[in-house]
A = this chain, B = another copy of it.
Amino acid sequence: MQKYTLAGEGELPVRIAEAIRDAIVGGRLIVDERLPSEQELAEQFGVSRPTVREALKRLAAQSLIRTQRGATGGAFVNRISYDEAAEQQITTSTLLLSMNAVDFETACEARYALERACVPFAAERRGADHLAAMRAEIHRQGQPGLSDEGFCASDVAFHRALVDAAGNPILSYQLAGAVEAMQPLMNMITFPARSRERIVTLHGAIADAVEAGRAEPAETALAELARYTVELAENVRQSRRERQKRG
């Protein structure tokens, strides 16, 4: 049976990778099925083994297959997990943000808007574990002596808990990329004690609202948090400009 058909034009490894990928998404190769050995694939496609290898490596880079050495080794169709998918999305999003001069306001708006989408479900389905995680992060954020980066990391953890509370793995996966990718941008902000206090208060309001099963006040607090974060970033930018003008 002909499982793969080489089509189009361009570099061989790319076309081979596409052929195999199509076989996977088209269901002709099912999860955990073993692909032919590199040697056999090379013969089937009429190319050399290094060429096949490059194709397989492309697929491995996208987590579509995994390879195993040894007697019963080979390439296997990989069931991509939420974690793997999220991981990939985070690297892609991070690169996209860092290389395209996305202004902080746009990224921030996107992030909090997406989070807002989770709130109604979080308020409806929140479990004790997620609430506890949120409270724990809030407590950490109030600790004096916490570094700015530590504060940022805790902020991310808080928002991940909020998103996970919605109990929708697809939402969690999609949001992970948006939230995590923002972290490098957030790390440029300094959080003096007064700002932290304000943020912790808002986080508390969100946790309270979610615990009470009320979406609306949580959405309001989230919107305020978005506004305040943008304001903080604006301050940092302004003071940096002034320092540059002087020095």
- Listed in ascending order, the chain A residues whose CB lies under 8 Å from chain B are 13, 17, 24-25, 31, 50, 53-54, 57-62, 64, 79-82, 85, 88-89, 91-100, 102, 106-107, 109-111, 113-114, 116-118, 120-121, 168-171, 173-174, 177-178
Contacts and interface: CB of A to CB of B under 8 A. Distances in A.
B25 A94 contact: yes
Contacts of A111: 170
A92 B89 contact: yes
A174 B178 contact: yes
A188 to B, nearest CB: 13
A171 B177 CA distance: 12
24 contacts: A24-B95, A25-B98, A57-B61, A58-B60, A58-B61, A61-B61, A61-B62, A62-B91, A62-B92, A79-B100, A81-B100, A85-B95, A89-B177, A97-B170, A102-B170, A106-B168, A106-B169, A106-B170, A110-B168, A110-B174, A113-B117, A113-B171, A114-B114, A170-B178
Given A80-B92, A80-B96, A92-B62, A114 B171 contact: yes
A229 to B, nearest CB: 15
Contacts of A79: 99-100
A99 B64 CA distance: 11
Most chain B beta-carbon neighbours within 10 Å: one of A95, A118, A168: A95
State the 9 A-B residue pairs at the shortest beta-carbon distance, nearest first. Answer: A110-B170, A117-B117, A61-B61, A113-B117, A58-B61, A85-B96, A110-B171, A54-B57, A79-B99
